[in-house]
Amino acid sequence: MYKILCTDGLGVTIRQNELIELALTYGYKGIEIDMEDMIGRAEKMGHQFATQFVNSASVEIGTFRLPIDFNASDEDFAAESAKLDAACELAKSIGATHCYVRVSPTHPSLPYVENFEKHRTRLAEVAGKLAEIDTKLGLQFTAGQPTGDDMQFIHKPEEIVALVKSVGHPNCGLVLDTWNWQVGGGSLAQLKELNLGEVYEVRLADPPEDYDPANADRTRRLEPGQNSGSLCQDTLNWLIESDFEGPVAITAHIQKSADNPGDILFQRIARVLDQMIAGEHGKVEEETPAAEGEDAGEESPASAAVSTS
């Protein structure tokens, strides 16, 4: 396995060049990129301009969110083929080996069975196209009880696993997010029933001990180990024992402040993940010192680029 700086779930936005700087500074092997932003840059200023930062940096593309709406009508989904083509072209150019789709927990009008079949067909088609450029497609679900008048869809671990298996494409797997897995009622025993080859990416965060599964707040994604019932370390131990080779990230919702500038927070989660992989989690100091040669009272260029969202 290898650690990546994954912005999904962190609650911050970061400029691409500063994201690369943070990754290199704190020992991340890969990063998550904003593919929709990269497609926009390529359309406005050309392919070479859009990819110059990542292609010139000694950091891998750990993952990206595929900017395709699988809930769209047939007409709108067909119209998004151009965006898929652009994403594939850019992904191939920058050597991106993983991408993901966040499956919506609801649909405005389709009942579960009909929506499931539509997703199965569309995902198989897209997975096949991504396989041509050696980019894996991971599926992520959103836990919690959906509200409103829309038709309910996938919001539990067993449902997303069923969708992955139903797609049945060797290039379609699971994004294992321990926060969603636990909030959705999933257990470690369920995890161990998975075929490891079906797990493409791993994201580690804990819900608080008093979380409400019916109304889980994504801003309360805690650092691994802050919940006494944490699945994070046990999940990671299982992956290590199983020789998992994919990307792993901590995606706790971080709070940037004057006392905790963004770069120091990224340094901390990198250190926590290193210690978890080494089996030494829990020995992290309460206060993470400023980077060597850096005045703790001043923000570095990287921290100045990080903003909460």
Q: What is the pLDDT of residue 268?
A: 86
Q: What is the mean pLDDT of each run of 10 residues along the chain (309 residues)?
A: 87 83 91 94 92 89 94 92 93 96 94 97 97 97 83 95 95 96 92 90 91 78 82 91 94 67 78 87 48 44 43
Q: Please state, as a whole number, how many other Cβ atoms lie within 10 Å of the Cβ of residue 194.
A: 18
**Residue type present at position 277:** I
Identify any residues that bridge with 248 across adjacent strands, giving them in sequence order.
3, 202
Q: What is the pLDDT of residue 289?
A: 45
Q: What is the pLDDT of residue 264?
A: 76
- Paired tokens of 52: 């110059």
The CATH number of the domain holding residue 92 is 3.20.20.150
Q: What is the pLDDT of residue 301?
A: 41
Cα–Cα distance measured from residue 115 to residue 184, given in angstroms and rounded to the nearest whole number: 20
Count structural domains, the chain.
1
Q: What is the pLDDT of residue 38?
A: 94
Q: pTM for the whole thing? A: 0.87
Q: What is the pLDDT of residue 230?
A: 81
Q: What is the pLDDT of residue 308?
A: 42
Cα–Cα distance measured from residue 249 to residue 9, given in angstroms and rounded to the nearest whole number: 10
Can you give the residue range of the structural domain that contains 205? Answer: 2-308
Q: What is the pLDDT of residue 260?
A: 53
